[in-house]
């Protein structure tokens, strides 16, 4: 014989069911509210990311881009062209050397010398490369005598020789090999004429989210590492509208 439930028991069961439904609805609304207020934070939690960490910069704001274009270490190519590339480099970085050896010449031939691209250099000497900061200063000192580009190439050609030694005398020797005024170059390097400028580039690099070398910005869009020619060609042609 089935036991008949009292009206009181039925009412309790109904109330319990309503409470469960209400709790679920409130929980859903609270989660949705957090997503609206917190933006990406809740989505990061769901994806297993750490909320609150800075978002990876893949494209600069207009203000960041304009700041990156002011007073570079060196610029090559015509002003006012449709595409500008800014490279943040470290002369002691093997990946920067790979870029120079494998891709740099093609960019020069295909885009810079043809008047399609303006190319700028900024310095990003990494702290664990003991001679990179001084190398960046030396390249700028050579630039005072119109030989930034030649000195840039010389540093990368001889990278294996000066990377792990006291390099100041070698850097001064390279100036002599390139036919620079030795006294002028030595004075520039000895007095640290460009030390602050290189330090300022380090601050700017952090500001635009560049922490590794080489880092490139093509019309403000970021490309990191010793990428193959095809990667540059694709981004540059896209920026040119080709």
pLDDT tens, position by position, 123-169 = 999 999 999 999 999 999 999 999 999 999 999 999 999 998 999 99
Tokens 């910005």 map to which residue? 217
Higher pLDDT, 156 or 32: 156
- Together in a domain, 28 and 69: no
Task: Please report whether residue 52 resides in a domain.
Answer: no
DSSP assignment letter at 216: E
Task: Please report whether residue 56 resides in a domain.
Answer: no
- Together in a domain, 104 and 35: no
Q: Mean pLDDT across the stretch 112-116? A: 96
- Together in a domain, 96 and 197: yes
Domain with 119 in it: what CATH number? 3.40.30.10
107 contacts: CB under 8 Å, gap ≥ 6: 85, 117, 119, 232, 236
Cα(220)–Cα(242) distance, integer angstroms: 18
- The rounded percent of the chain whose pLDDT value lies above 70 is 77
Q: Pick the range with the lowest mean pLDDT from 11-25, 43-57, 74-88, 163-177.
A: 43-57
Higher pLDDT, 104 or 44: 104
The tokens for 169 are: 């005398």
Task: Please report whether residue 53 resides in a domain.
Answer: no
Q: Would you say residue 21 has pLDDT above 80?
A: no
Cα(101)–Cα(95) distance, integer angstroms: 10
Q: Would you say residue 38 has pLDDT above 80?
A: no
The tokens for 94 are: 């093997």
- The confidence band for 9, taking pLDDT boundaries of 50, 70 and 90, is low
- Together in a domain, 33 and 92: no
- Together in a domain, 29 and 106: no
108 contacts: CB under 8 Å, gap ≥ 6: 76, 119
Helices (H), 93-131: 94-99, 105-107
- Together in a domain, 11 and 91: no
Task: Please report whether residue 202 resides in a domain.
Answer: yes
Q: Mean pLDDT across the stretch 105-111? A: 97
- Together in a domain, 184 and 96: yes
Q: Would you say residue 26 has pLDDT above 70?
A: no
The total of structural domains in the chain comes to 2
- The pLDDT of residue 56: 65
- Phi, psi of 184, rounded to the nearest 5 degrees: -65, -45
- Together in a domain, 24 and 123: no
Tokens 């070398």 map to which residue? 213
pTM of the complete model: 0.76
Per-residue pLDDT of 190-231, as tens digits, reads 999 999 999 999 999 999 999 999 999 999 999 999 999 999
- The pLDDT of residue 12: 56
- The pLDDT of residue 164: 87
| Residue range(s) defining the domain that contains residue 20 | 7-47
């Amino acid at each position: 014989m089935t036991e008949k439930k009292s009206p009181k028991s039925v009412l309790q069961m109904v109330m319990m069911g309503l409470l469960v439904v209400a709790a679920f609805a409130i929980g859903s609304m609270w989660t949705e509210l957090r997503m609206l207020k917190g933006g990406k934070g809740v989505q990061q939690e769901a994806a297993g990311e750490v909320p609150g960490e800075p978002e990876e910069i893949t494209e600069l704001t207009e203000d960041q881009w304009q700041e990156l274009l002011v007073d570079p270490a060196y610029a090559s190519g015509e002003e006012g062209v449709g595409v500008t590339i800014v490279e943040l480099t470290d002369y002691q970085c093997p990946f920067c050397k790979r870029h120079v050896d494998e891709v740099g010449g093609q960019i020069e031939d295909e885009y810079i010398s043809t008047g399609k691209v303006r190319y700028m250099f900024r310095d990003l000497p990494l702290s664990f490369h003991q001679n990179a900061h001084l190398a960046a200063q030396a390249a700028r000192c050579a630039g005072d005598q119109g030989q930034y580009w030649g000195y840039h190439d010389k540093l990368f050609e001889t990278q294996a020789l000066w990377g792990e030694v006291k390099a100041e005398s070698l850097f001064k020797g390279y100036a002599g090999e390139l036919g620079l005024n030795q006294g002028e170059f030595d004075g520039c390097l000895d007095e640290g004429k460009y030390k602050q400028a290189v330090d300022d580039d380090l601050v700017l690099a952090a500001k635009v989210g560049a922490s590794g070398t080489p880092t490139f910005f093509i019309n403000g869009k970021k490309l990191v590492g010793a990428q193959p020619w095809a990667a540059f060609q694709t981004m540059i042609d896209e920026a040119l509208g080709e």
